[in-house]
Amino acid sequence: MVNGQRFPRDEWTNVTPTVLSKINRKLHLQPQNPISIIRQLIESNFQDFQKFNNHSPIVTTKQNFDDLFIPKDHPSRTKSDNYYFNKDVVLRAHTSAHQIQGLMSGSRKFLVSGDVYRRDEIDASHYPVFHQIEGVFYTDNDIQQLGTELKQLQEDKKTTNIQLVDDTVIKPENPYQTCHQPEAVDLIATHLKHSINSMIRNIFADEPNLKVRWIDAYFPFTSPSWEVEIEYKGEWLEVLGCGVVNQKIMNQAHLDDKIGWAFGMGLERLAMVLFGIPDIRLFWTEDERFINQFEPGKINKFMPFSKYPPCIKDISFWISENKWHENDFCELVRGVAGDLVETVELIDDFTHPKTNRRSLCYRINYRSMDRNVTNEEINIIQENVRNTVRDEFNVELR
Ligand code: FA5
Ligand code: MG
C-alpha cells in the first residue's frame, strides 16, 4: 500500500522502502527549503504560466515513456534506471511525464514541478530523488502569430555578468521535424531561447562572471533539441534540456494546428550553485540548522555546520551590578573554549523580589566541526569558563 493505493507486484517491481519514504516529503513545496525557493524564483520568470506543483510522482509507464514516444527498447526504460511498482506503474523519472496532461488542460503555457526518481550512481551530486521543473508553451502554428508572440518578449540584456555562448545551428543531426515549416520552427525556437536566457539572467543576476552555453541534444519528445550548461568551479554543469515539441505529442493532445516548446530543468544543481550547498543530501536533512538558514524569496549562502553531536552545559550566576554586557561574556567564552563553542544562549533572567539581585543562566553548546567531543574534556573547559567569569566579571556562581 502506498498513499492508499495498492500495486500488485510483478517481475518489474523494484521500489524500495527508502525511496518510498521520500514521496511525501515534497521539498519543492516546503517554503524554507532551497528547492522551493528556487522553484518560486523560476516561476516568477513565467508570470502568466499556469503552475502545477502537486501531481503525484506515481505515474503510468504510458505517461513516463509511451506518451513521449520513447521507444520500447530505449535504455532509459530499464529496471536498472527506474523505480517500478510493476510493469505499468513507475515513479516518474522526469516531469515530462505530465506534458500530455498539461497540454490537455487547455492551458497554453504551464509549468510542472515535482520530485523525480532515478536509480543512479551515488556521490555528492547524485541522489535517487531530485526535482525538476517543466515548462511548456504553445501557440498557433502560423508565422504571423509566432512573430507576434516573439515581439511580446523583450529580452533583458542589461546584465553583463553573464557570458552567453550559443553557436548551435539547426542541422540534419538535430533536425526540423518534417511536418514543420522551418520559418515557424525558427520563430518558436527563438521564443524558447529568449525565455530561457532571460530566466537565467534573472536567476543569476548576482553571480559574477557566469558562463552559459547552448549545445545540441537529443530527446525523443523534441526536435530540434538543446541542453543548457553553466560553468561552475571550472566544470560545465548541465542544467536543462529543451526543444521544439514532437508534433505527434501535440496531435495526441488534439493540438494539431499548434506548435510548441518544452524544457525540463533540474532544481538541485541550480540550488547547489546559487546557495553554495556542497552536498545533495543536505536538501533532505531534518536538521534544523540547515533549514533555518533559509528564508522564502531570499538566496542566503549556506554556512556549513558540524555533523558531530553537541555537548550542552549551563552556567548561572548572580551579577553584582546591574550592568551586564552579553557580548563581553560571549567573548570570554570564546577565549576559553575557542572553536569548540557553537552557541551561547541566555535561557533565564531572574531578579529576586526581595534582594533585587539579578541572576542569569546561559546555555553553552559545545561542538567540534571535525570530531566527537567527550564530556570529560568539556567539563574541564566549562570549569575554566566558570572560574574566568567569576574572576573577571565579579559574579557569584550558582
Ligand atoms: C530530461 O529529464 C528531459 N525530460 C528534459 C526535457 C524536457 C527535454 C522537455 C526536452 C523537453 P535529463 O535527463 O537530461 O532530461 O534531465 C534534465 C535535467 O535534470 C538535467 O539537465 C539536470 O539538470 C537534471 N538532472 C538529471 N539527472 C540528474 C541527477 N541524477 N541529479 C540531479 N539532477 C539531474
Ligand atoms: Mg541530460
Q: What is the pLDDT of residues 38-50, one digit of tens each?
A: 999 999 999 999 9
**Burial class of 146 by CB neighbour count within 10 A (0 to 12, 13 to 18, 19+):** buried
Nearest to 347 by CA among 325, 315, 310, 388: 315
Mutate to test the pocket of ligand 1, among 110, 132, 235 (most ligand atoms within 8 A of CB): 132
Ligand 1: centre distance to CA 44 (Å): 21
Nearest to 268 by CA among 129, 120, 117, 81: 129
C-alpha cell at 54: 502537486
- 219-116-107 Cα angle (round to 5): 70
Give the C-alpha distances (Å, rounded to integers) separating 395 from 323, 324, 335, 386, 389. 12, 10, 18, 10, 7
C-alpha cell at 375: 564530556
Alpha-carbon span 367 to 316, nearest angstrom: 20
- 321-322-324 Cα angle (round to 5): 100
Q: What is the pLDDT along the chain (398 residues), one digit of tens a residue?
A: 788 889 999 999 999 998 999 999 999 999 999 999 999 999 999 999 999 999 999 999 999 999 999 999 999 999 999 999 999 999 999 999 999 999 999 999 999 999 999 998 777 777 899 999 999 999 999 999 999 999 998 766 666 778 899 999 999 999 999 999 999 999 999 999 999 999 999 998 888 888 999 999 999 999 999 999 999 878 898 999 999 999 999 999 999 999 999 999 999 999 998 999 988 889 999 989 999 999 999 999 999 988 899 999 999 999 987 788 899 899 999 999 998 999 999 999 999 999 999 999 999 999 998 899 999 999 999 999 999 999 999 899 99
pLDDT at position 155, please?
60
**String of DSSP letters for 357-370:** -EEEEEEEEE--SS
Contact residues of ligand 1, CB 6 A cut-off: 94, 96, 118, 120, 126, 130, 132, 134, 219, 222, 238-243, 262-266, 268-269
Of all protein residues, whose CA lies closest to atom 30 belonging to ligand 1? 126
pLDDT at position 157, please?
62
Ligand 2: centre distance to CA 265 (Å): 9
Mutate to test the pocket of ligand 1, among 219, 247, 280, 282 (most ligand atoms within 8 A of CB): 219
Percent of the chain with pLDDT over 70: 98
Mutate to test the pocket of ligand 1, among 238, 267, 282 (most ligand atoms within 8 A of CB): 238
Of all protein residues, whose CA lies closest to atom 19 belonging to ligand 1? 266
CB 113 within 8 A of CB 28: yes
Helix 375-393 crosses helix 326-337 at what angle (to 10 degrees)? 140
Of all protein residues, whose CA lies closest to atom 12 belonging to ligand 1? 241
Q: pTM of this prediction?
A: 0.86
Report the number of secondary-structure helices (H) and strands (E) in the chain. Answer: 11, 15
pLDDT at position 124, please?
75
Of all protein residues, whose CA lies closest to atom 2 belonging to ligand 1? 94
**CA dihedral (67, 18, 309, 398) positive or negative:** positive
pLDDT at position 250, please?
98
pLDDT at position 396, please?
94
CB 224 within 8 A of CB 174: yes
pLDDT at position 158, please?
61
From the CA of 121, which ligand is nearest? Answer: 1
pLDDT at position 125, please?
74
Of all protein residues, whose CA lies closest to atom 10 belonging to ligand 1? 242
